């Protein structure tokens, strides 16, 4: 019983409790725990040292990394420890951040897989690295566009509508929404000039989209969500205007620390994490949510591009 009481005192700290429950599910490195919990390395290392000293956690070397996991002997040989875990799982329901840990863990493991995949991609060579006649990103984009069925698409935060005009080549109709009157005027004039008749521009806010309920097949945010005052409200508006079975696509920046972007590009948010993107879509009642990091710039500050999709 003294050791049970000691463990309860140790795990009364919400951070140590979250770490232990994560390690119950999966072996993780300090870097992965940082990504999931949003904590500094030294803080996580201190918590791990305390859990290890208490005999709750063990580690093993894996290449250049050290992976931590729930101690197998403590779990397998102690009925009391299993009872302790059951109590801890119940206690975790009182920690708001713990409810997001499962999503964050899933994304961290996917990133681990992506790193392995990237290694083999590096060996095999990347698309576009070397010139080959007839092979281009533009050609690939045109091919993918040709595969799209004719949809009614809302391009939310469209700016001058460069992407809207590209989508209009295949879509049944594209409605480009932007809160800048000059952008709307410029885009509309450009569409008229090029004879794009299935493209309509409307002035409106991302959080109050000037479209009827259930009126579009696809709601698209292209590098616009980080300009919304309340991104979760903008995503909820996308859900409102989508038809049942319609899809949302968010293409935006991954969370970064380039503060200059606020002044240079009028960014209200410095990108979003995959966990935040999942939370926005889930709160808006989207299902079949998927996220991935689809690009990383080679030059500093190495902006990364996040893709998130979901279905109404």
CATH value of 137-311 in 3.40.50.300, 3.40.120.10, 3.40.50.150, 3.40.50.620? 3.40.50.150
How far, in Å, CA of 20 to CA of 86, rounded? 12
CA 97 to chain centre: 16
Give the residue, 175 or 2, on which the prediction is more confident: 175
Instruction: Please tell me the predicted confidence (pLDDT) of residue 129.
Output: 56
Burial of residue 178, with CB atoms counted within 10 A of its CB: 0-12 exposed, 13-18 middle, 19 or more buried: buried
How far, in Å, CA of 203 to CA of 212, rounded? 14
Q: Which two tokens stand for residue 284?
A: 């808006």
> Element (H or E) spanning 158, and its range?
none
- The model's confidence at residue 173, banded by pLDDT at 50, 70 and 90, is very high
Q: Can you list the pairs that 196-200 forms with residues at least 24 positions away whose Cβ atoms lie under 8 Å?
A: 196/165, 196/168, 198/168, 198/171, 198/172, 198/173, 198/174, 199/161, 199/164, 199/165, 199/168, 199/173, 199/174, 200/173, 200/174, 200/175, 200/176
Give the residue, 74 or 286, on which the prediction is more confident: 286
DSSP 8-state code for residue 81: H
pTM of the model: 0.66
Cite the residue boundaries of each domain of the chain with CATH code 1.10.10.10: 2-124
Q: Which two tokens stand for residue 158?
A: 């469209």
Burial of residue 274, with CB atoms counted within 10 A of its CB: 0-12 exposed, 13-18 middle, 19 or more buried: buried
The chain-wide mean pLDDT, for the chain, equals 86
> pLDDT, tens digit, for every residue of 245-288?
999 999 999 999 999 998 888 899 999 999 999 999 999 999 99
CA distances from 139 to 135, 143, 165, 169 (A): 7, 6, 17, 14
Instruction: Please tell me the predicted confidence (pLDDT) of residue 2.
Output: 40
Cite the residue boundaries of each domain of the chain with CATH code 3.40.50.150: 137-311
Q: Give the residues across from 295 on adjacent strands.
A: 305
Q: Which two tokens stand for residue 80?
A: 């009391």
Top-level CATH class of 2-124? Answer: mainly alpha
């Amino acid at each position: 019983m003294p050791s049970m009481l000691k463990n309860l005192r140790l795990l009364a700290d919400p951070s140590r409790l979250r770490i232990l429950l994560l390690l119950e599910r999966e072996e993780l490195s300090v870097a992965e725990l940082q990504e999931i919990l949003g904590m500094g390395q030294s803080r996580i290392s201190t918590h791990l040292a305390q859990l290890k000293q208490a005999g709750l956690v063990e580690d093993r070397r894996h290449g250049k990394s050290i992976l931590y996991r729930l101690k197998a002997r403590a779990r397998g040989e102690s009925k009391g420890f299993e009872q302790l875990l059951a109590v801890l799982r119940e206690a975790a329901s009182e920690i708001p951040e713990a409810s997001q840990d499962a999503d964050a863990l899933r994304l961290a493991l996917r990133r681990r897989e992506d790193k392995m995949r990237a290694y083999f991609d590096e060996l095999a060579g990347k698309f576009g690295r070397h010139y080959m006649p007839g092979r281009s990103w533009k050609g690939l984009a045109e091919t993918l566009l040709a595969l799209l069925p004719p949809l009614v698409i809302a391009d939310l935060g469209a700016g001058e509508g460069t992407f809207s005009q590209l989508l209009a080549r295949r879509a049944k109709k594209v409605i480009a929404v932007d809160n800048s009157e000059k952008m709307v005027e410029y885009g509309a004039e450009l569409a008229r000039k090029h004879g794009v008749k299935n493209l309509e521009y409307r002035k409106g806010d991302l959080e109050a989209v000037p479209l009827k309920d259930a009126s579009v097949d696809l709601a698209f945010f292209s590098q616009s969500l980080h300009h919304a005052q309340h991104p979760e409200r903008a995503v909820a508006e996308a859900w409102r205007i989508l038809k049942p079975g319609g899809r949302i696509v968010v293409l935006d920046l991954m969370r970064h620390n380039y503060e200059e972007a606020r002044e240079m590009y009028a960014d209200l948010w410095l990108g979003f994490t995959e966990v935040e993107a999942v939370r926005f879509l889930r709160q808006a009642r989207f299902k079949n949510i998927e996220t991935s990091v689809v690009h990383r710039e080679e030059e500093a500050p190495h902006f990364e591009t996040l893709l998130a999709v979901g279905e109404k």
